[in-house]
Structure formats: structure tokens, C-alpha cells
Structure 1
Amino acid sequence: MPKPESGVPGCPPGLEYLTQLDQLLIHQQLELLEVVTGFDFQNRYVIKNTMGQQVYFAMEQSSFCWRCACKSRRQFTMTITDNNGQEIVKMSRPFKCCSGMGQCWYAGCCDCCSDEITVESPPGEVIGKIKHGGSKWYPHLEVTDAHDDLVFHIWGPCCLCQTICCQADLDFKVYAKDGVTVVGNIAKQWAGAVKECFTKVSNFGVQFPMDLDVKMKAMLIGATMLIEYLYIEAQQNGNGGGGGQ
């Protein structure tokens, strides 16, 4: 995707692309060795616009030991770079002792259980956090800004199974802080029977208002990553993702 003109007021360097977009496609890259060996490799994602043009590239950085021992619950750092390889966003996920426990009723009220990702843009400047919020049955995330003020609620479906029979997307609705007004959507897209059955590759579609602050658009990319690890990858690994707290 051609780089827009820079100099947008209040826009971190590299996020100018997002001023022109109201949708993103996030495609995880297939690791053949992961399919053959069953070991978790560092995840990599291509972030595109709806025309299929690459906008960003995201790369997980984590240790082999964390991936083997904790699988989807692992701590990691993820960097997002533009097409010139310039790092524009950094995401950090610390390890939480009860992170990813599907039936942990303490998420949202107990810090050691509440999974989160901190987003920085440019790297070193925090623009917000995505936190695992408390609920009863439905997946729930809370998006806060740099001042820790609530901006969005994200609610997912009660059932996170994507079967050959269903062949349906999993929608995670993005609500304003009032919890009523829908302002966007994060969909884990059905990738086809072969990919769904034999690989762990995930494809997401992210929708948001065109005039949304670019920092909050970046936060929704971060929310997509937390959804991937906390719910989707955890379910694929059978180590406790899913329904809510």
C-alpha cells in the first residue's frame, strides 16, 4: 500500500496508513515445520487492506521454552513494521499465572488472572492496554487508552467452535464504553476445511469507523492479537481458552 502523506496531527509515525482505512485483514503465515513437528513457532502475520495490499507485518518474539511450556499462555513481545521494515508499534504481553484459563472466574478482578497486552506507538510511548475483562460466559476484553480510561468493550460468542458443519466466522463485537453502541467488529474468519482441520493458521477481519483515532485503530489490532492467543490458539492447543469468566 502506498504510504500516505505524513504530518497528520497527533498521529504516531507509521500509523498514517490507518487514516485511509476502515477495514484490515490480518493473515497468519503458515509455518510448515510447525505443521510437521507440532511445536509452536513464533507467529507472523501479514496485515493488508481490503485490496490485498500489504500495510504492515507483525512478528512475535518469544523464547522456545515459553512456547513449549506455556503454549498460548506464553509471554511475548510483538513488533509491527511497515513495508520499509520500520518498527511502528510494539505490543507486550506479560505472563499471568492464570492467564487463558477458560473457567477462571477471577479475570477482570484479580490482576494475576487478568491477561493483557500493552501497546506502544511509537515504541516506548504507551497508547493503551487491552485487558481480559470479567463476565460469566462470554469472552470479554476491555480496551483502555494511555490514561487507563475505558474506550471499548469487546464481546465474543459463547461458543468458539468453528466446525466443518458450521463454516462460519466468529464475531467479536466492538462496543463503545457505554456497552451498547456497536462501533466495530473483529472476525476470526473461516479458512476452509483443510486449513481449519490440519493447521493453526488464523485469518481475521477488523472493521472500525474511518474517522476513528489511529491510535485506537492500532489498539484494535492489539485486541485481535489477544483474541488470537487467549481464545483461538488456546482452543486449538486444548489448553483452556474460550468462554468467559
Structure 2
Amino acid sequence: MKNRGGWMNMPQGIPNCPPGLEYLTMIDQLLVHQKVEMLEALTGFETKNKFTVKNNLGQKVYYAAESNDWLTRNCCGHLRPFDMKIFDNYKNEVIHLHRPLACDSCCFPCCLQSMEVSAPPGTIIGSVEQEWSILCPSYAIKNASGETVLRIEGPFCTFSICGDVEFKIMSGDGQVQVGKISKQWSGMIREYFTDTDYFGISFPMDLDVRMKAVMLGACFLIDAMFFEKTQVEN
């Protein structure tokens, strides 16, 4: 890997790997940084979210951009449906995320949150599905066949009060922690006057690249559900 602060070089000669996911073969940690939108900070109107995804050396791996309309973003708030397009250094869309409109209340277990992950776009490689839970958020990470490969267990309290918020990545049977998604404290000004977020994702190096991509989708779903409330909602 070269060019610290630039783009990560793509590994070559990776067999049976969806195009654009080669980067993930060499990664066990991703850092997700949301771009500060000044219009949103000044007016309170929700703008399209944009993110930079980096490795632990600070090299860019992907760039992600939300796709939906102004009315949906500002009327549906943190429950809004969206598509997220994830691009590589060559501006190719290599991962596509789709989040349908749904509720997140424990009172309606038949209509919970989900995220469909495709790589390349049009080829489903897995999904993130919220599981019914009263106290702590819980998700099943499934492969293209609908089999649960991993689980995510969230904390009882998801408020970021001068500290990180950790979601544990567990084995499929829920017995062993294999990684985590952490919402990182970004400072008083950012936390209270913008919805700009910082996340860290860690997972086993030998995890299938498709599941690593699904874990990235899980990070965006968690961000949307718990850390994207607009000033109007607040």
C-alpha cells in the first residue's frame, strides 16, 4: 500500500471476487467519514449524505453517495428510504445499497428495517435485517442465500454522550464477538449542530469480501437509524 492519504492500490489477481471488492481482501478495518454539509448545518434541511471510506492507513477505499429526493429526506427523516451508491477510485459503482421505507418500532415487528446489498449493482450478495427486540437493537447479516452468517448486537443506549457507541459483530450463533461497528465521538460542535458522523468497522481479515461489503451496508443502516435525526426531529 502506498500514498498515505491518497487512494489505496487495488490488489491484483484475486479469484472469485466481485469487481471492485478486491480492496477488501487486504482489509480488516474500515473508517467511514461523513462529509460536512454547510447548507444542512446552517438551515437544518437534510441534504444527500456523502461519505469517504478509508483503510486504517488513511487511504481512500471507496466514496459513497446517497440517492433520493429532497421531499423524502426532509419528510421521512431518519426512516427515509434511500439508495447508496459506492464508487471506487475509477468512479465505477462497485456496491449498491437499497433501504426500503419501513418503521423501527418494537410495536411493529412485521415491518422492521433492512438493507439489501449488491456487488456489482444488480447482483445481490447479502442483506442486513433488523430483528425484533425490545431493549437492544439486533440485526442478522445474511448472505445471498438468506443464511445468517453474522449478527450485530447494539447497546441499550445509543446516545453518544462524549464517548463512542459500540455495536458488537457476533458469530452466526451469537456466541463469539468477531468485530464491531463503533460510532466515534466527533466533538461537541459536530455532534450537536450537524449529523456528520464518524464510524469504525472491524472484522476478521479472512471474512468473505461479500460479507465485508454487507457489513459496510450495516454501518450505513445503523447510521441512518440512530444518528441521522434531523434538527426538526430533535
TM-score range, shorter chain: over 0.9
Q: 1: CA distance between counterparts of 2:63 and 2:92?
A: 10
Change (3 A) 1:236 1:130: farther
Structure 1: stretches of 5+ with no match in the other structure:
240-245
Out of 80, 83, 93, the residue aligned to residue 77 of structure 1 is 83
Alignment of 1:88-237 (within 5 A): 88-96=94-102, 99-101=103-105, 104-107=106-109, 110=110, 113-163=111-161, 167-234=162-229
| Residues 190 and 196 in structure 2, CA contact (< 8 A), matched pair in contact too | yes
Which residue of structure 2 aligns with residue 243 of structure 1? none
Q: TM-score, normalised by structure 2?
A: 0.93
Aligned-partner residue type, residue 105 of structure 1: C
Output the amino acid matched with 1:222: G
- Note the aligned Cα RMSD (angstroms): 1.5
How far is 1:236 from its partner?
6.8
Q: Distance in 1 between matches of 2:65 and 2:33?
A: 12
Q: Distance in 1 between matches of 2:8 and 2:62?
A: 12
TM-superposed deviation, 1:71: 1.0
Identity of aligned residues (%): 41
Q: Number of matched residues?
A: 228
Distance 1:144 1:122 in 2: 17
Runs of 4+ in 1 over 6 A off after TM superposition: none
Structure 1 residues 71 and 184 mapped into 2: Cα distance closer, same or farther (>3 Å)? same
Q: For residue 235 of structure 1, report the CA deviation from its aligned partner.
A: 8.2
Q: What code does the residue aligned with 1:47 have?
A: V
The Cα shift of 1:52 comes to 1.1
Q: Would you say the 8 A contact 1:105–1:134 is kept in 2?
A: no
- Name the amino acid aligned to 2:139: L
Q: Distance in 1 between matches of 2:136 and 2:8?
A: 39
Please report the TM-score for the alignment, with normalisation by the length of structure 1. Answer: 0.89
* Structure 2 Cα separation of the partners of residues 7 and 13 of structure 1: 11
Structure 2 unmatched ranges of 5 or more: 1-6
Cα distance, 1:6 vs structure 2:
3.1
Change (3 A) 1:213 1:195: same
Checking the alignment, whether the CA contact within 8 Å between 1:3 and 1:16 is kept in structure 2 is no
Contact residue 77 and residue 230 of structure 2 kept, 8 A = no
Structure 1 distance, partners of 2:197, 2:232, is: 13
The question of whether the paired residues in 1 share the 8 Å contact of 2:117 and 2:217 is answered with yes
Deviation sequence 1:7-38 (CA, Å, 0-9, x none): 31221001111111110100000000001110
